[in-house]
Amino acid sequence: AKDADGAVGKLQIIADPLDATIKRVGRFGWRGTSATVLQQTSAALNSDMGVTSAMYPTHGCGLATDGTACRTADAKGAELSEQDVELIVRYASLLAVPAARHFPGQQPLGTPGDKVTAQTPAQNAAELAAENLMQARVKRGGTLFAAARCVACHTASLTTGEHKFAELRKQVIRPYTDLLLHDMGPELADNYPQGVATGQEWRTAPLWGIGLLKTINANTRYLHDGRARTIEEAVLWHGGQGEKSRERFKALSADDRQQMVDFINSL
């Protein structure tokens, strides 16, 4: 509560959909409206795809012009078995996190394909020099990122707790999020409050893997509504509790701003 920039986050507390007496911290979704991977998966199946499961056994029939067919479908029971949902949850939970790039000791971005082209010593030396330069830029970008106090919300590391999968227990992870809700100002508001989150409060988005988005989607956009075309635009849209960090970013030289972007893209 004593953060120098007033970047004080708050928890989204979620009742378990199957037992309202059980309360958990919301960690998934733009406003932390799901507490577990099971809840996030079941909610996405239901509201995004119209597929029912044990957790959400009915469709959104009230949204249909004629709900008769919808209610008839509901009467048949859940469309996905608990076993099938568990397989999806297990898959999503155990997906590997992309490795950070351009840090000392890390491999350069990309791996050789099936066809490896022989390179001259000069080409190898040029690639090594370019990688060393990028490592230096990423290191300085990380220092600038911390100096701008972006880490007040995009916390560099967290330690996991207990988990049903042994691989995920007591692990130091670096997602660059505090998983808390922060007021990002009226510019980013959508006026759609959810739980304890107002229409201009958002869960801090994790940054790990963000630099690899373009490898799976050439039309990559940023922020909750895709309004930002670049990382720099996304930073400049920060308001509210992120305003002071944004102003520090704006005050940097063009090359320093790019080095901070290089750092974010390396995560």
Phi, psi torsion values for 71, nearest 5 degrees: -70, -30
CATH number belonging to the domain at 122-266, selected among 3.40.1440, 1.10.10, 1.10.760, 2.20.28:
1.10.760
The pTM score is 0.88
The residue among 149, 176, 240 whose CA lies nearest residue 202 is 240
pLDDT of residue 168: 94
pLDDT of residue 118: 60
Find the DSSP H helices in 7-98: 37-49, 68-75, 82-93
Tokens read off for 257: 């701003």
Over the stretch 82-138, which tens digit does the pLDDT of each residue have? 999 999 999 999 998 888 889 887 655 444 444 445 677 777 788 888 888 999 999
pLDDT of residue 38: 96
| SS3 of residue 147 by DSSP | helix
Query: Is the pLDDT at 15 greater than 50, yes or no?
Result: yes
The residue among 67, 70, 68 whose CA lies nearest residue 79 is 70
**In whole angstroms, what is the distance from residue 92 CA to residue 234 CA?**
27
Report yes or no: 245 and 152 within 8 Å, Cβ to Cβ.
Answer: yes
Over the stretch 62-83, which tens digit does the pLDDT of each residue have? 766 677 888 888 888 899 999 9
Tokens read off for 48: 């995004």
**In whole angstroms, what is the distance from residue 170 CA to residue 159 CA?**
6
- Sequence letter at residue 161: G
Residue ranges covered by each domain of the chain: 13-93, 122-266
Residues of the chain with pLDDT > 90: what percent?
75
Helix or strand run (H / E) with residue 25? strand 19-25
| SS3 of residue 138 by DSSP | helix
Averaged pLDDT for residues 207-228: 93
Any residues with CB less than 8 A from the CB of 102 and at least 6 apart, and which?
A: 108, 109, 131, 134, 135, 137, 138, 262, 266
